[in-house]
Structure 1
């Protein structure tokens, strides 16, 4: 009889502790979605979690009751075990505490809490029915405990008392969206709404240098050029905005919208909009706020020496949320990434180092000083290497397959064992 009661108490304590941590660790968006389903368990889950404070209190009350019962019966059993040893009262009580606490911590606290935390979303729904039974059973006791705690919080500590959290965190939203993205098969298309949410979560962590058009790809007009030259440049490039510089691209002074040409200006400076200058480390959410406030659509990204590192337009920022926005003038650039043979890879130099590491596990060192493969090479060589140049690193050798005087185009990665 004693063994049965002890085992039952341990199981119930594990259940109460597990359900408590499962609710705290569960994804609130998942629970919100489940509550809107029409299944029987979803309806039970709705009733169970509509008042979180009462639910958690009910689990605590149930756990406290079974722990008291467990302590009483376990004490009797341990006393019987230790009776032949004829220990002192102090030693007997000490051993009772140690043995009882070790068993309860291991079997009813640590293991179930870890298990329920890992599988929180599944288990809170699976055990919703028995949890609801105890929720109803201890309803009056939990109400009484909540009233006492609210009285102490409001009257003594002068706080607002317990309030139900009616929102979910950014992390919970990200976790839920990640689950949805991972659940989509490769051949299926991700819903545009989910993709936008995913982009929005990553939006806050992006910096201007992550999305800028690099200096080597900037096309501009010199301030002293003629309007005819500017018009020809607009026609040749198909761009809607053109950079204006003085003497060199390190001294960009503004930009021009193509529609300004319809006003028949006499010179380039007459229709120029002054440039906005920001460092490459600024977050794009902050940059968007600056451009919106100052009613500008382009910013010049400066490097640490005050030179031009690149440019960012409002369109570039918006594309991070809604995906690529292409028009009839956009040329689709093909980024090469393929395995040639025996672990040898050929990559476009514009591929992100982080992406290549995730996809091909090449363990290329990452740094805030660069983001692309080309930037990685230039950062380590302190120059733009010529075609055919070889660079040795710990795990691989880099062969420059194609490069110009301004930038690296193609890179070949050769593992050390393949050299």
Structure 2
């Protein structure tokens, strides 16, 4: 049973239990104590009888003197008066008066009932008042318990709406351990993710601007040289062609990465492809390019692995990893490529003998425009591994980097035979 339900159940049950207990206690107190009205009535009868006896025994003057000297202690309103009707003394006594014949005259001793406020007057209303107070307290506690986290959530959503992705509400749920607290921590996780995406977007804008500025600056420099020395037209045009080609390559990679990121929820356009055969084609082209640096590459990987993939994306992913290894491996070294085909998954490993990266950079190199701190610039824009991870993960696979004991950098790709929901591959190991 959810914890929030049990909290509500406990609060309501305890409230009712306390209410019933308080009612029973108050009823017992009221019933056990002598009633004020009966006590007052008995006192009044005693005073009336005592005054009447004194009037009969000692006379009217003594009774009046008794009333006068005890006015402060006797109940207020005690009076002695003569009646005009002598036959009135024949009547019976009442609760607030006595008719007494004395000295041949009929006297009336009266002591009217004074209105008093006693527990007996409010006794019938005490249980209802107790229930009202207890209900009010419990309703206030429940409302406060429920509304406070809702207010925090509203403040958090308002902050997100105004672009404040650093706003957190989990620390404001101190003492709570229920579904509302879980919702608050989910909100914090969402806000943190939005903040990461915003930071990544800002960093991407900055990096793209920086990478575009360099070839544009060289183009501007070439135009300036041409204006000063028209005779250098041929060489400047060649330089301008190279810079335009660099710009085209950069824009193409940025568009590819943007398409992968924006289309992560779109279905893949898959076809059946032998991934190992595709890898051998890429290795053949890369081996030809690596001859200039006297770098050898494993050029043949055995086996067949037919998979339902989007061929263009997988080709870009594999090519980026292999070409990245060719760029950064040391001269006169070797690049090893391995494949392990299983029933439903293909694992590809590419290891070079370059300078590698720091252990704290193993994840950062998969971010756009990211390179190792000690990496030697050999062209490229730091987008290849970012595109590779996006492409493989879109198929439900995984990509990770490691540092071999012999040095260099190893990239491992895990590709399922059939695409799985985006991001689900990260749960498999």
TM-score normalized by structure 2? 0.23
Q: Which has the higher contact order (CA 8 A, sep 6+)?
A: 1
The structure whose Rg is larger is 2
